[in-house]
């Protein structure tokens, strides 16, 4: 193409973009004109719920509208995802969830009212959150090495609680079993609200959980932290080793993601993404998120899409090892 034709083509493209940008800019300026729903697929008190409530306070200031957090537990996340899939594609209903839910739910639920790959679009990578391996105070092991030795000495006799089949807690533990060559028996519960009391009460020996669920019991001496499932140690607990220090490449810290329904206007998605990014960067929000064990990111839709693809590969491999089957 010669210079004249190239110039004409660029001018035409610029005109087309300007023509398209006008209504998109108008959509962004008009949005939002009513409250925004932030649906969480878990019961109150879990990490996604904690993050949603921390971020929503600043988010509603940026949007100039109330942000309502709604807990919709059930169906391994399918209930909340169904709410989003059946809502208008206008940005007024969003879902804040952990990334593994999107990858695992289709493997454990036969009939779903949505397709996670076709029905949702990424909005924001809020942050990345690790889980801690905690043991009941009665467990004799005080270090990860001692726990490994104890588990190898009595295969299948120790057990761990999770927040349900296919949860990130379950898959992390199964990946740990595989990576360390140990056999710790799975005891599934309906959410962390049930698994953590079982851990504290001694009904299970160990569990993976987020800091908000554990730290009070750590301080009171009822549980001990022996490891973390992320690739690097947490500044909250620099003395707690990562499982990656014993299992090369081990990283099951999960993404905290915000999604909208497919078809949501791009300008609205960008506005929401921008507001989430600003919300997680306020100093008091950073402090609260870090205290909850979340590394705040505020990533773009593109960053979230890339992170979810990488995460899906890890957790689906773990799901195969755990022999997950659809109900």
Identify the helix (H) or strand (E) that includes residue 120: strand 120-129
Superfamily of domain 30-128+254-321: Bordetella uptake gene, domain 1 (3.40.190.150)
Residue the block writes with tokens 């349900």:
164
Cα separation, 144 vs 163, in Å, equals: 22
Residue 27 confidence (pLDDT): 52
Same fold, 30-128+254-321 and 132-245: yes
Q: In what order do the strands lie in the sheet with 295-299?
A: 67-71, 36-40, 93-98, 254-261, 120-129, 295-299
**Residue 35: strand, helix, or coil:** coil
Residue 213 confidence (pLDDT): 86
For residues 112 and 132, the answer to whether their CB atoms sit within 8 Å is no
- 221's torsion region: left (phi>0), alpha (psi -120 to 50) or beta? left
Cα separation, 1 vs 8, in Å, equals: 10
**Residue 60: strand, helix, or coil:** helix
Note if the pTM is more than 0.75.
Answer: yes
- Show the tokens assigned to 90: 């206008």
For 132, 215, 288, 325, 327, the CA distances from 212, given in Å and listed in that order, are 11, 6, 11, 30, 31
Please, what are the averages of pLDDT over each run of 10 residues along the chain (327 residues)? 36 41 56 97 85 96 97 87 95 95 80 83 96 97 97 97 87 94 94 91 96 92 97 90 94 95 98 98 95 93 95 86 72
Cα separation, 304 vs 313, in Å, equals: 14
Residue 103 confidence (pLDDT): 84
Angle in degrees, CA 237, 148, 178, rounded to 5:
100
Cα separation, 179 vs 227, in Å, equals: 14
For residues 9 and 64, the answer to whether their CB atoms sit within 8 Å is no
Residue the block writes with tokens 């409530």:
53
Residue 83 confidence (pLDDT): 95
Does domain 132-245 sit in CATH 3.40.50.300?
A: no
Residue 102 confidence (pLDDT): 86
Residue 59 confidence (pLDDT): 97
Where exactly are the structural domains of the chain?
A: 30-128+254-321, 132-245
């Amino acid at each position: 193409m010669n210079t004249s034709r190239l110039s004409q083509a660029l001018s035409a493209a610029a005109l087309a973009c300007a023509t398209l940008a006008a209504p998109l800019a108008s959509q962004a300026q008009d949005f939002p004109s009513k409250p925004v729903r932030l649906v969480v697929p878990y019961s109150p008190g879990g990490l996604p719920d904690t993050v949603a409530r921390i971020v929503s306070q600043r988010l509603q200031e940026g949007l100039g509208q109330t942000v309502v957090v709604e807990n919709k537990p059930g169906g391994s996340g399918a209930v909340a995802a169904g709410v989003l899939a059946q809502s208008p594609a206008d940005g007024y209903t969003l879902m804040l969830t952990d990334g593994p839910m999107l990858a695992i739910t289709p493997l454990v639920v036969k009939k779903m009212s949505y397709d996670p790959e076709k029905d949702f679009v990424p909005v924001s990578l809020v942050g990345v959150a690790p889980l801690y391996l905690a043991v009941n105070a009665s467990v004799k092991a005080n270090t990860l090495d001692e726990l490994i030795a104890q588990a190898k000495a009595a295969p299948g006799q120790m057990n761990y609680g999770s927040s349900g089949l296919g949860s990130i807690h379950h898959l992390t533990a199964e990946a740990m079993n595989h990576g360390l060559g140990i056999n710790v028996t799975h005891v599934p519960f309906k959410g962390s609200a049930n698994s953590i009391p079982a851990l504290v009460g001694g009904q299970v020996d160990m569990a993976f959980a987020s800091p908000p669920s554990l730290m009070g019991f750590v301080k009171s001496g009822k549980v001990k932290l022996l490891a973390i499932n992320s690739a690097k140690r947490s500044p909250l607990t620099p003395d707690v080793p990562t499982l990656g220090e014993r299992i090369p490449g081990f990283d099951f810290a999960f993404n905290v993601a915000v999604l909208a329904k497919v078809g949501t206007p791009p300008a609205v998605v960008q506005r929401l993404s921008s507001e989430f990014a600003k919300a997680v960067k306020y100093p008091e929000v950073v402090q609260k998120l870090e205290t909850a064990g979340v590394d705040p990111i505020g990533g773009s839709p593109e960053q979230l899409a890339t992170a979810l693809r990488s995460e899906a590969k890890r957790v689906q491999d773990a799901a195969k090892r755990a022999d997950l089957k659809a109900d």
